[in-house]
A and B are shown apart, each in its own frame.
Chain A
Amino acid sequence: MNAQDFTVTRSSYAARMAAIIGCVAVIILIAAPWWAARADMRLMGEMFLYLALASLWNLMAGYAGLVSVGQQAFVGFGGYMLFALTIFGGLHPIFAIGLAAVFGAIVSIPVGALIFRLRGAYFAIGTWVVAEVFRLGFAQIPALGGGSGSSLPVGIVKSLAGSRQSREWLSYWLALGAALVVVAIVYIFLRSRQGLALTAIRDNELAAGSLGIEIWRTKFVVYVVTSAMTAMIGALIFLQKLRISPDAAFSVNDWTAFVIFIVVIGGIGTIEGPIIGTLVFFALRETLADLGTIYLLVLGVVAIVVMLKAPKGVWGLIRTRFDLQLFPLGHRVVRSANQNGG
């Protein structure tokens, strides 16, 4: 046995299969307007957006260890940017969505610099305070509807696409695209050197510090990127809703509680986790949502039970049981196909 008999590789058979199945699935999803009913398309669009939000929250909390209960700040910010840029800036909605991401990044820098002074759970509550400040702040702007909010003018809605049907198709594709982009960005980031640094930090902050990795800077970059993308998703969300108000834009329940639930159930700190979590969440919602508060109660109980009994979530259970990783991040040593080397 010598070194030439082994190679180091990232992928595995399962990962390659998953990639193939994934590509097929994406193609099918892209073609949805031709096989899915309108209501189903709306639902899937919503799922994609939640998947994007969950993947972003997971990047921050699961990998960078920055637990935020205030991401709704940027969801709402993005939504309001969409309205402001289209109504007052006269920009095309899609351009406004992109710009919302840029503005989200810019705003997150001073905000981050401030709340990074807090640690751990206090950081979490700090993010909530920021969200409250955003909510109260935007409620003070009469031009954007003040406390009761405003609707997206018909002209702007029509500028997206001519007919109602083509607008729905466009919304759907935008949502799907956003989810794919977010997951891809997270995946590529985690495979990069920065991503490796992030995982090192997550696993042991003390040790990572001694390796000379700039902890603060890496986490800050993650915070800014996550906030920017969250703002972009927020803009998309409110493009679909066509109406915005401070309470809806900055709702803790809608944009934080549900997202946390998705990530925790699915499996925090994994890329596959948010995907599974989104499926489970929507399955529960479609079956239980009629029960109103009972439904939320059940969510809370399930989240606690999962956190105490199966902290790695559904995907964590699957992964440990079957030693599976569909988005190959780690390296593994396998026997070479060619035993003679060369």
Chain B
Amino acid sequence: MPEPILNIAGLDAHYGDFQALYGLDMTVNDGEVLAIIGANGAGKSTLMRSISGLMYNDPGQISFNGQDISGLRADQVAAMGLALVPEGRQLFPSLSVEENLIIGARVGRKGPWSLSEVYKLFPILKERRNQQSTSLSGGQQQMVAIGRALMANPDLILFDEISLGLAPIIIKDIYEALPGIVGGGMSAVIVEQDITKALSVSSRVYCLQEGRVSLEGASNAVSREDISRAYFGIK
């Protein structure tokens, strides 16, 4: 059994006195697409922030490609090949669309993704390349955010609630592009509130509830009932 690309063991996370994650255990296997679902406040975004290095964690709780990244800064984690498409897009308003994409490549990692490849994936962005990034529609901004993460040629890409605030048809388009994104052997974690979408693209799923894992299984094997119970914390 090959090493998982991401291994989380006993992860705790706190905001001041408030504990958001309680001893979380989780793995992401190399090349797989993993879904993480859960209600608001379940700890999904906290998990993303911890993994990507935006939040401080005690040593020994997160390892990526075999290395302990728990205490590393976000820029150090990024350099190792882990990219995050943050919740709410969070593009740089002072940068144009193209500059947002270019800055994604700053970590300097080699790989299949380049500016021209991203424009092939999302042609509309090429049309709008010199526009101020925040003047785009929500769906287009999401494309920029995804493209920006891809430009880093990561080994593992994290999608944090990419369907939030988008119209259903846009969400459909983006999810249709997803296999093309992760097809090249990239591992992915998709955090979603839209359970159907999450299950449709992933091979395995975790459900978080109040900072703990309440369900783990194959995406095509978990029942609606199991998910409801795990989602809302009904025993």
- Touch test A–B (CB under 8 Å): no
Q: Which residues of B contact A (CB under 8 A)?
A: none
- State the A residues within 8 Å of B (CB): none
